[in-house]
Amino acid sequence: MIGRNSGTILVVFGTLFLFGFFYDRVVTWLERNGYDEGYTALLVVFGSLITLGGVAVIDWRAAALGLGAFAASGFWMVLGSWWRHVQRRRRGQGSQRGEIE
């Protein structure tokens, strides 16, 4: 399989390599401006989906299998990340209310 598709694999890997570089620049900007707060898990999910898209170009069955594995292992991490963010915001709002009153 790899010998047959070595050109495709090299193009996909090169494209993903460039994506990773530019996505890091975007995430750095989001972090610097505070836009990533509470959304880190979604940034990881987005990057993983792009990677799986690259795998799908090579072998869609492998990508589907990977998507299922990432969904199974990442579901609770994403849910937990959102929950922790909501709890931090609630605690922050509670302390601000106390300062106002």
The model's pLDDT over 38-75, given as tens digits with 9 standing for 90+, comes to 899 999 999 999 999 999 999 999 999 999 999 999 99
- The residues near 43 (Cβ < 8 Å, ≥ 6 apart) are 27, 30, 36
Domain count, the chain: 1
54: left (phi over 0), alpha (psi -120 to 50) or beta: alpha
Tokens of 7: 């050109």
Q: What is the pLDDT of residue 95?
A: 58
27 pLDDT band, cuts 50/70/90, is very high
As a whole number of angstroms, the distance between CA 15 and CA 7 comes to 12
pTM: 0.81
Tokens of 60: 């869609």
User: Does 1 reside within a domain?
Assistant: no
Query: How does DSSP classify residue 27?
Result: H
Question: What is the domain range of residue 69?
Answer: 6-100
User: Does 56 reside within a domain?
Assistant: yes
